[in-house]
Amino acid sequence: MTYRPLIGTSWKMNLTATEATTYLRELVPRVDGLHDRDIFVLPPFTAIWVARRELAGTSIGWGAQDVHENEAGAHTGDVSAAMLVDLGCRYVEIGHSERRRAHGESDARIGAKVRTALRHDLTPILCVGEAERFTLRVARSSVIRQLSRSLARVTAADLDRLVVAYEPVWAIGVGARAAPLGHTAAMQAAIGAWLSAHGARTPRVIYGGSIDTSNAASILALPEVNGLFVGRAALDPETFASIARTPIDGLPHKEKP
C-alpha cells in the first residue's frame, strides 16, 4: 500500500489574521515545489479567510480546528460545516484532547461531528490518544475504544475519507517529548489495523505530539506513520517548512510520483 504523506499543523489559539498573513507569505515560497506530499494548515476561525486568500492556487490545503455537528441554528459562537466549505476549507480537526477536556466533548459528539464533516466533503482529522503514559496494552485498548465509539456510525467506505491523528496526550504540551518510536509504531499499526478491519482500504494514520526538526525524519520513516501533525514547533513558518520538507526518498512505503 502506498500513499502521499500528509504533513500539517493546527495553530490552536495563536496568530491573528494580520500575523497569519505574514506567516503564510513566509511559508508558501519555502514549500514551493513539494509535489510528493500533502500539506495543510488549520488557523483559528478568525484567520481562515486569510488562508483562503494567501493559499488559493497553491498546493497547501487549509481547514478549521473544530466544527459544530448541526447544520445551522441557535448555537452561539459555533461554526457550521457549510461555513467552512464556503471559506474553501478542505480539512477539519475533530476531537482534540483539549476539546475533550475543556469542552467535555464525548466520543458520541465527536462522531456526530465526523459525520457532519463527511456530508460536506470535508476531510475529518480525528484525534485520538491515551490520556497518560500507559502500557502499550492499556494504551491500545483506550484508543481503540475511542475509535469504536466515535466511528460506530461511519460507513466502511467513508473510513477512507478521513484521517486519524494519533496524539498521545502525555506527549503534547510544553516540556513534553514525543512518544518513543516503538510505541508510536505499535499504536499507529493498531489504529490502521482497526480501520482496515472495519472496511477501510487505504487507512491514513498520522502522528502528532512534540514533533520538531530533530525527530520528524525518524517518525516519518516508520512504515506505520502516514504523516505528521505538528504543534507548537510549527508556529514558526521556517521550522514548519523544514519539517514539511522532510525527505521521503528512500522510504519505499511512501508514494512518490
Please, which residues bridge with residue 227 across strands? Answer: 6
Per-residue pLDDT, 253 = 54
Distance CA 106, CA 150 (A): 8
pLDDT digits (tens, 9 = 90+) for 65-85: 999 999 999 999 999 999 999
Q: What is the mean pLDDT of residues 57-72?
A: 98
DSSP H helical segments within 32-135, as ranges? Answer: 48-55, 81-86, 97-103, 107-119
254 falls within a domain:
no
% of the chain exceeding 70 in pLDDT: 95
- Residue 49: alpha-carbon gap to chain centroid: 20
pLDDT digits (tens, 9 = 90+) for 92-116: 999 999 999 999 999 999 999 999 9
Per-residue pLDDT, 1 = 45
13: CATH:
3.20.20.70
pLDDT digits (tens, 9 = 90+) for 198-247: 999 999 999 999 999 999 999 999 999 999 999 999 999 999 999 999 99
Confidence bin at 252 (pLDDT 50/70/90): very low
Residue 139 near residue 169 (C-beta atoms within 8 A): no
Q: What is the mean pLDDT of residues 133-152?
A: 97
> Across 121-256, where does the E strand assignment appear?
123-128, 163-166, 205-208, 227-230
25 falls within a domain:
yes
Distance CA 21, CA 224 (A): 35
Per-residue pLDDT, 254 = 56
142 falls within a domain:
yes
Residue-wise over 150-178: b if at least 16 C-beta within 10 A, else e?
bbeebeeebbebbbbbbbbbbbbeeeeeb
Distance CA 10, CA 42 (A): 5
256 falls within a domain:
no
Greatest extent of the chain over all pairs of C-alpha atoms, in Å: 52
Note if 35 is an active site residue.
no
Statement: residue 31 has pLDDT above 60: yes
257 falls within a domain:
no
Q: Of 68, 96, 105, 130, which one is the catalytic site residue?
A: 96
Confidence bin at 251 (pLDDT 50/70/90): low
Statement: residue 255 has pLDDT above 60: no
Structural domain that includes position 133: 6-244
Distance CA 232, CA 172 (A): 9
119 falls within a domain:
yes
Note if 224 is an active site residue.
no
Task: Give the residue, 47 or 255, on which the prediction is more confident.
Answer: 47
Confidence bin at 174 (pLDDT 50/70/90): confident
Q: Of 69, 93, 105, 167, which one is the catalytic site residue?
A: 167
188 falls within a domain:
yes
250 falls within a domain:
no
Distance CA 52, CA 45 (A): 12
Give the count of domains, the chain. Answer: 1
For the four alpha carbons of 208, 211, 216 and 218, in that order, the dihedral sign comes to negative
Q: What is the mean pLDDT of residues 142-157?
A: 98
